[in-house]
Amino acid sequence: MTPSSALSAPRRGPARAAYSRALDHLRGVQRPDGALAGEVIWNPMLICQYVIAAHILGEPIDPARQRRIRQSLALQVRPDGGWAMHAESGTFLFHTVLGYVALRLLGHPPEDPLVAGALRWIRANGGVVPIPTWGRVWLAMLGLYPWQCVQPILPELWLLPESAPFHPRRLYCHMRLIYLGLSYLYGVRLTAPPSPILDQLRAELYPDGYDPAPFVRERATIAATDLFEAPGPALQAAFAGLRAAERLSPARLRRRALDHAFEQILFELRSTAYVCLSPVNGLLFTLALHARDPAHHERAAAFKGVEYWVWEDDQQGLRIAGARSDIWDTSFALQAICEGPADPQGDAIVQAAAPWLARAQLAADIPGGARHHRSPARGGWGFADERHPWPVSDCTAEALEALLRAQDRGLAPPSVFSASKQHDAIRFIISRQNDDGGFGSYEARRGSMVLRHFNPAEIYGNCMLEYSYTECTASCVRGLAYARARPAELPAPLRAELDRSIERGVAFLLRGQHPSGGWLGFWGVNLTYGTFFATTALRACGLTHEHPALRRARRWLCGAQRPDGGWGESYRGVLRGEEEHLPPGTPSLVVQTAWAILALRAAAPADDPAAAAALDRGVAYLCERQGEDGAWPREAAAGVFFNTAVLDYDLYRQVFPTWALASYLALT
């Protein structure tokens, strides 16, 4: 690229052709309702828990579905015979034990190669006893682990005064609802009736006998293969105190606590039409209904609600996604297309998607939500779709900006997204801002940072609280800034709130810049992700290219470009909170290259020769990697959840390269 704002024909031609192919592909995968949604691919934990839950509930699994479950497990098994947290991690005891148990419950015999390989790995790596706590609970419900050796998960904690610093309402919502379900099941000690298959499993998993001594001795031990955050002295002391309290607690207090927890469970099931916040708590809540009353009239609806999260086909078998990303993917796709050159295919995508996206906005608060620890929801968008009433700050900000851009492009009439709905979205976003100026995701932070030292989920990290996240903050201030720049008049009080919110958010982002010049990611890998969000937000909020933060960012971006023209980081950097690039010789990643291009477009002026050269090389890499059908190939996952849960957002590899090409072509 010459130091000019115009692209020459030789450079424009390949990029324009690649962009057209990309739009054709996106139009081909767009759903009839207008949404663009890709699978969020994780690991087999959830399908295994589904099988275990079906066994406890006495729910038969169709033979065709059983075959697809085995197919999915066979495709994900590692060469050593076990299963992993994600495609690039080592084998985990937690996932391997669940996989083994699920296969046996489905009727596969011990000599089945998939079953035999898993058992060999389990025995070669210390056996079942040091499985993490969440695995112990699932085994205990089958009578395969003593409940008394599961770390205490007391339902009585829900009876604490709501002002108490350790009340569960202060936890991050995913942890709060998972522990709501776990506490009920722990409190009633749900255990499946004995059966021949469970007797066989016990003998296979414990070949030396089901002796209680090792369970007691190793109660605080977690398998080294699985451990990410060891329970510290404070948490161990808390466990000891809770065990003592449980021994002294009267039965009537337990009954009262269970009643209160069950009321909360019913609210979550009913208020979400049984799809729940996630399939993790959905399965736990279904089991809680069964424990309360096997004939409970809502049990069938609760179990059916898990289907919302299922992906099933002949190629990959049956999977259960930990999340759906319909709103998230669609919002990014609309912004991408609205930034690029006019194109009939792109226009058609936006015109079909914008009405659906507008309909997915929550029009009212959840009835009774405040009494059940739900924050106001009106004006927000969730991560999934219109059926999922758990709104998120950055999803709302991205949807707000997407719809406003579609209106400005003339591809969505004003009636699709009225001024009052825009104002509701702005109010919702502002309500998720934390005291430090950053933004949480589902809620503003409710608990003291002290709670981060009491993480009982040994295989995950940073999961106890809502934090202030670079990406959420950047999405929110960018969406607010775009709304502020429009001619539509905002009520004066709301405008003042918006201005103050942006100011505080920008200050948070500037404080959070990494010494390298980028921004660490929390929800994606890693600095390319965080830097994409931060730079685009800071520019939208009025910072010039010559601001020191943006100068440092573009130096880092240019310096991080790899010899093949792309960018690429390892997920291991997320685990340590630092920069870690892919090994030399490893191909760069398309998604991360797209993020870097978008970040560099925001951070660098058009006449910066180093940035211009980096952009040219990056776009050439995207064009080179694109297939003839307009799609980009599957590669290493780039999404993250709770530090260790690396997620593969299937549509990221289509939407973000399309956006990078659109932004590049906008240099006219």
109 to each of 55, 82, 197, how far by Cα in Å? Answer: 17, 17, 10
Which H or E element spans position 83?
strand 83-84
- Return the bridge partners of 313, or none: 317
Cβ–Cβ under 8 Å, residues 665 and 15: yes
Taking the C-alpha atoms of 339, 37, 593 and 518 in order, what is their torsion angle to the nearest 10 degrees? 80
Tokens 């969730």 label which residue? 382
Cα(63)–Cα(75) distance, integer angstroms: 18
Which H or E element spans position 263?
helix 251-271
Tokens of 207: 């070949």
Instruction: List, in order, residues 6 or more apart from 195 with CB less than 8 Å away.
Output: none
Tokens 């089991």 label which residue? 287
Return the SS3 of 288: helix
Long-range CB contacts for residues 364-367, cutoff 8 Å, separation at least 24: 366/271, 367/271
- The 8-class DSSP code of residue 531 comes to H
Classify residue 250 by burial, with Cβ atoms within 10 Å: 0-12, 13-18, 19+. Answer: exposed
389 to each of 476, 637, 658, how far by Cα in Å? Answer: 19, 27, 29
Catalytic pick among 226, 385, 394, 564: 394
Classify residue 159 by burial, with Cβ atoms within 10 Å: 0-12, 13-18, 19+. Answer: middle
Q: How many CB atoms lie within 10 A of CB 520?
A: 22
Q: How many CB atoms lie within 10 A of CB 416?
A: 18
For 112, left (φ over 0), alpha (ψ -120 to 50), or beta? beta
Cα(433)–Cα(309) distance, integer angstroms: 29
- The 8-class DSSP code of residue 500 comes to H
Taking the C-alpha atoms of 551, 554, 558 and 560 in order, what is their torsion angle to the nearest 10 degrees? 110
Cα(583)–Cα(467) distance, integer angstroms: 31
- Return the bridge partners of 433, or none: 439
Cβ–Cβ under 8 Å, residues 571 and 525: yes
Cα(148)–Cα(510) distance, integer angstroms: 49
Residues, the chain: 668
Active site residue 394: yes
Instruction: Taking each helix axis as running N to C, give the angle between helix 9-29 and helix 609-625, from 0 to 180 degrees, rounded to the nearest 10.
Output: 50
Tokens 């419950």 label which residue? 105
Residue 451 CA, distance from chain mean position: 21
Catalytically active residues are 394
